[in-house]
Amino acid sequence: MSKVVKFGGSSLANAEQFKKVGDIIRADETRRYVVPSAPGKRFKDDTKVTDMLYACYDLAEAGKDFKKELQAIADRYREIINGLKLDLKLDDEFQTIEKNFKAGAGSNYAASRGEYLNGIIMAAYLGYEFIDAATVIFFDEDGNFDAGKTNRVLSKKLAKCDRAVVPGFYGSMPDGTVKTFSRGGSDVTGSIVAKAARVDVYENWTDVSGFLIADPRIINGPEKIEVITYRELRELSYMGATVLHEDAIFPVRQEGIPINIRNTNAPEDSGTWIVGSTCQKSRYVITGIAGKRGFCSINIEKDMMNSEIGFGRKVLQAFEENGISFEHVPSGIDTMTVFVHQDEFMHKEQKVVAGIHRLVQPDSIEIESDLALIAVVGRGMKSMRGTAGRIFAALAHANVNVKMIDQGSSELNIIIGVADDDFEAAIKAIYDIFVVTKL
């Protein structure tokens, strides 16, 4: 049995948090590979080290003095090292960083130093080997993650190392320069390491005890999700539920390795398990609810549209030509509606409308803004009758007007479009009916 354990920024924000992490790792000897983030916020209005690094590099790039800002970053690490009573000095590392900043090493390099330095401290604290991610995680010429090369090199390296720390968030380009994943990318590194080491579990330690059924900013104290499948998670994270980086699913999914989301501040909690498939039923018919605001619908009407071959393609072409991606396209006999992100669509609106006129000569086009989409997700819905009925009864009861319904063919989710103003009431009504009253 072996595990990869990834710790997020808040789990490593100061020496006290580092100690909790040390205790967690030492409590289970199968926790062999550790992937740390950079130190995060110590309190609400604090600044993450990654953000300090970006800001510091901006100064360097503009040719301004950045000594004070770099010193503030060095202080964050010194505080951790002293608090852990480690015999470790990062002076040489900071000299190199300063030199590279002056030489224009790039903001990717700058940001990556947060994880790099935290990895050095973590390795010293645990007595584990330190592996610089730049030597084992690779991007190709186009800047895309090179899964093949990474897996070859990394699995070979890990086979020779019993216990190691691999800093998250970055790797290297074919020319050796450092490149990072997008923000929150240490989750991705954890998944890549888990795949390469073929571990049994990828533990992702953060500051919450797992995924919640609904957003706690909308539902007061929502219940936790015990087990969720990768596919369900994809649907929910796409719709705004954030705990894990979207791309973190893919490497472990290919190997069938489960992810266990855990809380560094409450290690006794079992957290949420993310798995490929499971025979475990979720406690409720639905697994989770998530949603996003800020959509527009473009409703196109044309008599006899149903018999016009290529109509849908041409409508979507008008969006494509303007670089706008669509979210949902519910259609009727003589109508077709396209849901898009309002901020993407707004400033290109008239161009798209003109394009639709040119391409399909519709009878009318109507645009509605300030819409929200809500996804009700659950593997249990497939085998249950009346789920949609219950959702819509609850929404009607809460006085919410439903503007769009879209059930994916997988029967894994039902997407509902409502007015922005009804967004919270709709989520509350759905949570209530399935979780609180368990109807």
Interaction site with ligand ASP (CB under 6 A): 9, 37-38, 48, 50, 114, 168-169, 183-187
Q: Provide, rounded to whole angstroms, the least separation between the CB of residue 188 and ligand ASP.
A: 8
**Tokens for 277?**
């498939």
372 three-class SS:
strand
Helix (H) or strand (E) holding 391: helix 387-397
- Residue closer to ligand ASP (CB basis): 9 or 362: 9
CB 122 within 8 A of CB 36: yes
- Residue closer to ligand ASP (CB basis): 165 or 373: 165
CA distance 299 to 331: 9
Q: Provide, rounded to whole angstroms, the least separation between the CB of residue 111 and ligand ASP.
A: 7
Q: Provide, rounded to whole angstroms, the least separation between the CB of residue 186 and ligand ASP.
A: 3
- Residue closer to ligand ASP (CB basis): 69 or 327: 69
- Residue closer to ligand ASP (CB basis): 169 or 230: 169
How many residues are given for the chain?
439
- Residue closer to ligand ASP (CB basis): 249 or 416: 249
Q: Provide, rounded to whole angstroms, the least separation between the CB of residue 169 and ligand ASP.
A: 4
Q: Provide, rounded to whole angstroms, the least separation between the CB of residue 279 and ligand ASP.
A: 33
CA distance 93 to 71: 12
CA distance 359 to 320: 12
Q: Provide, rounded to whole angstroms, the least separation between the CB of residue 185 and ligand ASP.
A: 5
Q: Provide, rounded to whole angstroms, the least separation between the CB of residue 204 and ligand ASP.
A: 10
Instruction: Tell me how far CA of residue 431 lies from CA of 238, 239, 246, 385, in angstroms.
Output: 19, 16, 24, 18
Q: Provide, rounded to whole angstroms, the least separation between the CB of residue 37 and ligand ASP.
A: 3
- Residue closer to ligand ASP (CB basis): 186 or 229: 186
Which region, left, alpha or beta, applies to residue 411 given φ > 0 means left and ψ of -120 to 50 means alpha? left
CA distance 161 to 197: 10
- Residue closer to ligand ASP (CB basis): 185 or 258: 185
394: nearest Cα among 376, 382, 381, 421: 376
- Residue closer to ligand ASP (CB basis): 12 or 429: 12
Q: Which single residue brings its beta carbon nearest to ligand ASP?
A: 186
Burial status of residue 290 (CB atoms within 10 A of its CB: 0-12, 13-18, 19 or more): buried
Q: What are phi and psi of 49, to 5 degrees?
A: -60, -35
